Amino acid sequence: MTTTAPPVTAYLPQSAFGHAVVQRLARPQDVVLPVDKGLVSAVVPYADRLVLIADPDRTGLREDLDALSFTRALPSLGMELTPTELRCGPLVIPGRTACYGCYERRRRQHGYRPLPEGLGPLPQGYAHHHVVLGAGLVSMALDLLERRSLPAASATGAADPAPGESTDDPGRGLGGQVWALDLVSGSTSCSSTVAVDRCPTCSARYAHRRDGLPALAGLLPRRQPRQAVV
Q: Point out the residues of the chain with pLDDT beneath 70.
A: 1-3, 114-122, 149-175, 204-230
> Domain boundaries in the chain?
9-115+125-151+172-207
**pLDDT given for residue 155 in this prediction:** 41
User: What is the reported pTM?
Assistant: 0.77
Which residues 6+ apart lie within 8 Å of 66 measured at CB? 76, 92, 99, 100, 101, 201, 202
Tell me the pLDDT of the chain averaged across its residues.
Answer: 80
Distances (CA, A) of 73 to 6, 114, 155: 18, 28, 5
**DSSP E strands: which ranges in the chain?**
9-13, 31-32, 49-54, 76-81, 85-88, 177-182, 188-192
d(CA 203, CA 168): 18
**pLDDT given for residue 152 in this prediction:** 44
Tens-place pLDDT, residues 78-114: 999 988 999 999 999 998 899 999 998 888 887 777 6
Fold of 9-115+125-151+172-207: Rossmann fold (3.40.50)
**pLDDT given for residue 163 in this prediction:** 35
Per-residue burial over 37-67, b = 16 or more CB atoms within 10 Å of its CB, e = otherwise: eebeeeebeebbbbbbbbbbbbeebbbbbbb
**pLDDT given for residue 14 in this prediction:** 95
